[in-house]
Amino acid sequence: MAEKQIVYCTDFSENAEAAFITALEMAEKYQANLLVIHVFPPVVNPMSTDMIWMPPEEPKKNLILKLEERMQQEYGDRIGDKVDYQLIVLDGHVSTEILTFLNENPVDIVVMGSYGLSGMGLVFFGSVAKRISYKAPCSVMIVRDRKKIKDKSR
Residue 82 has pLDDT above 60, yes or no: yes
State the average pLDDT over residues 3-31: 93
State the average pLDDT over residues 41-63: 65
What is the layout of strands, in order, in the sheet containing 5-9? 85-91, 33-40, 5-9, 109-113, 139-143
CATH of the domain at 26: 3.40.50.620
Residues 101 and 133 sit within 8 Å (Cβ to Cβ)? no
Strand partners, 53: none
Rounded Cα distance between 38 and 88, Å, is: 6
**What is the value of pTM for the model shown?**
0.81
pLDDT, tens digit, 9 for 90 and up, residues 92-128: 999 999 999 999 999 999 999 986 554 444 334 447 8
Q: Please, which residues have CB within 8 angstroms of residue 101's CB and are 6 or more apart in sequence?
A: 7, 37, 88, 90, 107
Give the pLDDT score at 15: 82
Looking at the structure of the chain, the number of domains it has is 1
Supply the range of the domain harboring residue 131: 5-152
State the average pLDDT over residues 87-94: 94
Residue 24 has pLDDT above 90, yes or no: yes
Give the pLDDT score at 98: 97
Give the pLDDT score at 119: 45
State the average pLDDT over residues 138-150: 79
State the average pLDDT over residues 49-60: 60
61: part of which helix (H) or strand (E)? Answer: helix 57-71
Give the pLDDT score at 41: 84
Give the pLDDT score at 58: 66
More confident residue, 152 or 62: 62
